[in-house]
Amino acid sequence: MGTRRIIAQYPWAKAPLIVSAPMRQIALSELATEVSLAGGLGFIGSGSDQSDLDQILEDSRRLLSKIEPPLVANHGTLPVGVGFLNWGADLKAALSSIKKYKPAAIWLFAPRHNDNLVEWTQRTRSLTNGATKIWIQVGCVDDAMDVVKSCKPDVLIVQGCDAGGHGLNQSASIISLLPEVSSGLGTLVESGELKAAEYPILIATGGIVEGRGVAAALALGADGVCMGTRYLASHEANLSKGYKDEIIKRHNGGKCTVRSSIYDQLRGTTDWPKEYGGRGVINQSYHDAMAGIDWTENKSKYAEAVKAGRLLSGLS
Amino acid sequence: MGTRRIIAQYPWAKAPLIVSAPMRQIALSELATEVSLAGGLGFIGSGSDQSDLDQILEDSRRLLSKIEPPLVANHGTLPVGVGFLNWGADLKAALSSIKKYKPAAIWLFAPRHNDNLVEWTQRTRSLTNGATKIWIQVGCVDDAMDVVKSCKPDVLIVQGCDAGGHGLNQSASIISLLPEVSSGLGTLVESGELKAAEYPILIATGGIVEGRGVAAALALGADGVCMGTRYLASHEANLSKGYKDEIIKRHNGGKCTVRSSIYDQLRGTTDWPKEYGGRGVINQSYHDAMAGIDWTENKSKYAEAVKAGRLLSGLS
């Protein structure tokens, strides 16, 4: 069922649907368009700042216009998506870009309150007459139930705790989470709170890097998968070569990285709602924070390390 | 391949192999034997105290002796396993019980140093002439490589971060971990450090509670799965009815539970190596600990709550 609906919404896509995550500052026109051209759906990471979104969408349109034959998207939409960080994104600016470029989908994530998602969903659907599809990312069962009931998203992205980037500090992996969400949504249909036609396409994300993870996600009940970290070392990712080389060198991921709010605090990106953290490579700053050293001291040591080039990037 | 080797070692077992975890004080003769009788392999949780192990094995033998036709196990072994917590288990006492009852397998976990596993493996193999199979549980890639090279276990249990009970505080779920371990072991075979015949049977555990999780684990490269929490509410689990009822009521597991050393500290079970924590339902004590309230105060509040029956059990 999932596949038929995916193809109906994104006619160029191959099954199972492979999606690239809207990574802020990293997933721009190059990465998003290449993923769509390969039969997936690429997302631009617009984050909480929409000032360059028109330019990125213009670049995407230009890159896609060179393809012969062109990708066929529904209702004249642009065959890429745009991801927003709803705790800080500007709805008015976003709608202006959506109107101008009509992306195939928008991806909503991490609002301060779930009500915010209802407004974004309604305004976007109304503006594009439903052509731009609504994707919403959640990291726990209760949020999944809430947003499916209130927004009826076209796609629900279920993010497990292995994910790179940001997610709930307190969460489960898709092994536990996806069946629990899927069964929960099933009860909404049984109880009549959700029509069967409104049951969203389910996209699993978090810790999937190759075929075995994709197969597992499908077994768990997903219709497709999203990957982020997997694309970091690609030519198309907007990251320094040094950073890409480091990514490839890492192994034993569960031990060398951690999801925590500490990296945001170190970098001063403290606008995220408090329940979200970003996954980062465990470094001295993390150990120092766990050992309870003074925050001012820790932040200044971190800033020194960045300045001295001992950390590859503020993006961890 | 896995299935053929599983059947060769545990002739009564059905594919894919379903294993019940050696939960300390919970998985005794009743649970272990019922799981084996159902076509899986049940483990007794002997933990770090072997004083009642002979009795539990005697009970198991008695329960199994009533079955007609009897389960056929290899080399006259008893068709159940025994799990030890290697940071505290008594090798001499364990060997005495193993000699007397010859369980089909022993499960080693959480040593202070991996060298300890080599001694347990060698002594057990020598004592039973290889009849009692060696199962070793790991929670990260490096430990997997270490113990496979040094112990050549018959079975490697790969535990992901969703697991109930104890595991590494810093870990990944099986979605990430199992393919990384499986590929890593493959490189050992390619490099000649491991013979193909020594590649262990892989058992996935952590967050698996029903068929979808089992299918996912197989897709990830496992030969079978182990479940623990799933059995907590069974008739055969040695737990109070109140506790079983609470287990069934829980949902949104990633949000309502956390794996942390805090529960061990609250209960005074502080013998675990510092990198291990137990998963518990998030309670006021946990919030208080995160908020940095004084430990002595927190422990005394916890003890009061247990005494007043506001916590169902010291086992969380």
A220 and B213 within 8 Å at the Cβ level: the answer is yes
A179 and B209 within 8 Å at the Cβ level: the answer is yes
* Domains along chain A with CATH numbers: 2-231 (3.20.20.70), 250-307 (no CATH)
Model confidence pLDDT, tens digit, residues B229-251: 999 999 999 999 998 998 899 88
Helices A91-101 and A115-128 meet at what angle, rounded to 10? 30
Q: Contact, B81 vs B107, CB < 8 A?
A: yes
pLDDT (0 to 100) of residue B2: 81
From residue B118, how far is each of A200, A298, B9, B135, B154 by CA, in Å? 50, 41, 21, 12, 13
Model confidence pLDDT, tens digit, residues B197-217: 999 999 999 999 999 999 999
- In sequence order, the 6+-apart residues with CB closer than 8 A to the CB of A126 are none
Taking Cα atoms as reference points, which of A92, A28, A89 lies closest to residue A60?
A28
Q: How far does Cα B113 stand from its chain's mean position? A: 18
Q: Contact, A250 vs A145, CB < 8 A?
A: no
* CB hemisphere CA count around A226 (13 angstroms): 33
B252 and A171 within 8 Å at the Cβ level: the answer is no
Q: How far does Cα A276 stand from its chain's mean position? A: 13
Confirm or reject contact between A281 and chain B (CB < 8 A): no
From residue B234, how far is each of A37, B25, B27, B37, B238 by CA, in Å? 51, 14, 11, 15, 9
Residues of chain B below pLDDT 50: 312-316
Please state, in angstroms and rounded to a whole number, the distance separating the CA atoms of residues B113 and B120.
12
Strand partners, A135: A107, A155
**Does an H or E element contain A124, and which?**
helix A115-128
Interface pTM, i.e. ipTM? 0.93
Q: Contact, B43 vs B30, CB < 8 A?
A: no
DSSP conformation class of B40: S
pLDDT (0 to 100) of residue B65: 95
Please state, in angstroms and rounded to a whole number, the distance separating the CA atoms of residues B274 and B271.
8
SS3 for A297? helix
pLDDT (0 to 100) of residue B25: 95
B219 CB neighbours in chain A (<8 A) are 212, 215-216, 218-219
Model confidence pLDDT, tens digit, residues A105-142: 999 999 999 999 999 999 999 999 999 999 999 999 99
A175 CB neighbours in chain B (<8 A) are 160, 162, 173-175, 206-208, 213, 216-217
What single string gives the DSSP state of each residue in A157-185?
A: EEE-TT-SSEEESS---HHHHHHHHHHHH
CA distance A185 to chain B (A): 13
